[in-house]
Amino acid sequence: MPMPRSTRKGSSNKREITPAAARRALLRRRVIVLFCSLALALAVVTGQLFSLQVYRYPELIKAANGQTWRQVPSVARRGTIYDRNGRELAISIGTASIYARPAEIEDPDGASAALAASLGLPVKQIREQLRSKKSLIYIKRSAPLEEAEAVMRLALKGIGFDAQSRRFYPKAQQAAHLLGFVGTDDQGLEGLELQYDHYLAGKRKWVARQQDAKRRPIFREEADETQGADLHLTIDEVVQYITERELEAAVSQSGALSGSAIVMNPLSGEILALANYPTFDPNVYTEASAFARRNRAVVDYYEPGSTFKVIVGAGALEERLVRPEDRFNGEGGVIEVGGATIRDHERFDSLTFTEVLTHSSNVGAIKVGQRLGKSHYYDYISGFGFGTLTKIDLPGETPGLIRRPKEWSALSLASLSMGQEISVSPLQMLVAMSAIANGGVLVRPFIAKSIVAADGKVIRVNTPTQIRRVISEDTARTLATILKGVVTEGTGKAAAVEGFEVAGKTGTSQKIDRATRRYSRQKVVASFVGFVPVERPQLAIIVMIDEPSTLRWGGSIAAPTFREIARESLKHLRRSPTDQEPLRLAEGIRHATFRLD
């Protein structure tokens, strides 16, 4: 029968699921979910690992190195500065900066006492530093290496040091304005230290220092020592000492505000000495005033007064407008020009051109200037280098002040003939006088003779440079003879050096009173510029004394200072009176470079 068979089949399809089977099914589903979750988690972790180790690897490595490694500069040891004979004028010595991390100091009181004994500092000062809230403080900068080693032997936690180099000037104040000084970072700030900083400083290298999470040093990768090049100067240490000594004596004796002096080889342009007083010690330059640190011989200017009569005289001789024997009416020592009355320092009735310079007559110089005329006079003023830089290798040089003829007043030609209405630096005045000494050629003054690398290789050599011929050799010789008379029988008698022929010119110029804007009767500049010997000149010297309260004439204070500097320098250089043979310019600077401006 069909009906029962159908009933058996339906009962078979509707059999109940047993509890065991249900548990197995649930477990299977859980396993599948767990597997999928683990697979997903593994995929996420794998993705993160890929991102960290592959995609973000450069970024994370950089961040890690930034935390554990620090790039610190390795300061190169500056090169040494020598005088022309190899004497050290500026050297670098090893130092260390002692630092502390206050948070790491376990016993501030005990550490303060120990450090004070090693560094020679007050205990109270160090204790206050160690209790600072700052992460790092410097206890002492530029400490001697011996002190740094003593601190290291203390093995104090949180105390360390960085090795550095410190500039030292063994001669203290000597040649201070030439050498200049460096800052705490060993970078040149003034003088030759600034002018040649690129060579002296050498190349700065960076070294890697590893540190832990608290920034305590673990390892330092040392860089090879890099040393700057050495600088060899034209300066003679002994001549420099003589110049500074005599200048200081002159300023003190006359009660002056200040003074400057320069000694130069008129044939080559080499500067043998350059001094200013008051001066300073570059080892402690911060203790000096800005005025004392100022290189006034190069960066300041003044009205030269009667020393400038040499220029108007050179122009008139070169243009053949005057001869040494030509006579001028002295007008009794008084002349009217442009509505102003100009007087001589004494009464003159009649003078030759030679006597105009020998006795420094204002009236005579004005008449010479009138013969020369504005245009020609301006050409000679410019030709001798006034109004432009000498291009000496020192920073901050002034070109001086000079107006063009179209800006001159009716009085200007007369004033300029006496050395007024123009401002020059002592260096410019000396370079102009050197052109007369060497036969009529303007030469460039320089101080650095050569630059030598640490390995002994010569990097640069400065050689004598002729700028241009300003007067003929005959004019220079005639003028030198006239200027010799200034010393033998004129206003510069006090400049005479026994056994040697000296040529030169005195100057006493009034200064402008800033309150009245007129020439002061009390404030003057006394100067003397000249050369020695007249034949085969070896030294050209200028002495400028600013605002002397006594001995207010160039012939009474600057001339005798010139004499002392010249006499002692010639003695040091072993020049004797018998060496005075005629010398032409070509012999003195045969290998010079000729350059036209």
State the chain's mean pLDDT as an integer: 87
Quick check: 476 and 555 in contact, CB under 8 A?
no
Mean pLDDT for 85-106 is 88
Q: At 374, is the secondary structure helix, strand, or coil? A: helix
Instruction: Say which residue, 557 or 596, is predicted with more confidence.
Output: 557
Residue 586 confidence (pLDDT): 39
Q: At 56, is the secondary structure helix, strand, or coil? A: coil
Query: Which pLDDT band, with edges at 50, 70 and 90, does 589 fall under?
Result: very low
- Residues near 584 by Cβ (< 8 Å), separated by ≥ 6? 439, 473
Question: Rounded distance, CA 469 to CA 447, Å?
Answer: 22
326-335 long-range CB contacts below 8 Å, 24 or more apart?
Answer: 326/352, 326/353, 327/351, 327/352, 327/353, 328/352, 328/353, 328/356, 328/361, 328/363, 328/364, 328/367, 328/368, 329/367, 330/361, 330/363, 330/364, 331/363, 333/363, 334/363, 335/362, 335/363, 335/366, 335/414
Q: Is 195 left (phi over 0), alpha (psi -120 to 50) or beta?
A: alpha
Query: Which pLDDT band, with edges at 50, 70 and 90, does 246 fall under?
Result: very high
Residue 593 confidence (pLDDT): 37
Least confident of 138-142, 261-265, 354-358, 460-464: 138-142
Picking from 559, 548, 540, the residue whose alpha carbon sits closest to that of residue 493 is 559
Query: Cα separations (Å) of 448 from 153, 410, 566?
Result: 44, 44, 23
CATH topology of domain 237-594: Beta-lactamase (3.40.710)
Question: Rounded distance, CA 546 to CA 263, Å?
Answer: 18
Question: Rounded distance, CA 148 to CA 162, Å?
Answer: 9
Residue 318 confidence (pLDDT): 96
Burial class (CB in 10 A: 0-12, 13-18, 19+), 290: exposed
Per-residue pLDDT tens over the stretch 520-548: 888 999 999 999 999 989 999 999 999 99
Query: Cα separations (Å) of 422 from 125, 357, 536, 593?
Result: 55, 19, 31, 30
Instruction: Say which residue, 107 or 213, is predicted with more confidence.
Output: 107
Q: Which residues are 545's β-sheet partners?
A: 259, 526
Residue 579 confidence (pLDDT): 63
Question: Rounded distance, CA 195 to CA 462, Å?
Answer: 14
Query: Which pLDDT band, with edges at 50, 70 and 90, does 185 fall under?
Result: confident
Structure tokens at 357: 């310079």
Residue 540 confidence (pLDDT): 98
The yes-or-no verdict on residue 79 having pLDDT over 90 is yes
Burial class (CB in 10 A: 0-12, 13-18, 19+), 573: middle
Q: Which residue has the tokens 């005195």?
A: 506
Residue 40 confidence (pLDDT): 87
Quick check: 276 and 259 in contact, CB under 8 A?
yes
Q: Which residues are 424's β-sheet partners?
A: 302
Residue 204 confidence (pLDDT): 60
Picking from 195, 200, 220, the residue whose alpha carbon sits closest to that of residue 210 is 220
Per-residue pLDDT tens over the stretch 395-446: 999 999 999 999 999 999 999 999 999 999 999 999 999 999 999 999 999 9
Query: What are the domain boundaries of the chain?
Result: 237-594
Mean pLDDT for 43-66 is 75
Residue 173 confidence (pLDDT): 96
- Residues near 115 by Cβ (< 8 Å), separated by ≥ 6? 98, 121, 126, 139, 151, 154, 156, 159
Strands of 236-304, DSSP E: 258-264, 271-277
Mean pLDDT for 513-525 is 86
Residue 64 confidence (pLDDT): 66
Instruction: Say which residue, 320 or 145, is predicted with more confidence.
Output: 320
- Residues near 230 by Cβ (< 8 Å), separated by ≥ 6? 79, 80, 81, 82, 451, 452, 453, 454
Mean pLDDT for 305-313 is 96
Residue 212 confidence (pLDDT): 56
DSSP 361: -
Question: Rounded distance, CA 99 to CA 224, Å?
Answer: 23
Task: Give me the helices (H) in 156-206, please.
Answer: 176-179, 191-195, 197-200
Residue 576 confidence (pLDDT): 79
Question: Rounded distance, CA 542 to CA 118, Å?
Answer: 50
The residues assigned a catalytic role are 306
Question: Rounded distance, CA 16 to CA 418, Å?
Answer: 137
Quick check: 80 and 202 in contact, CB under 8 A?
no
The yes-or-no verdict on residue 7 having pLDDT over 70 is no
Q: Which residues are 528's β-sheet partners?
A: 506, 543
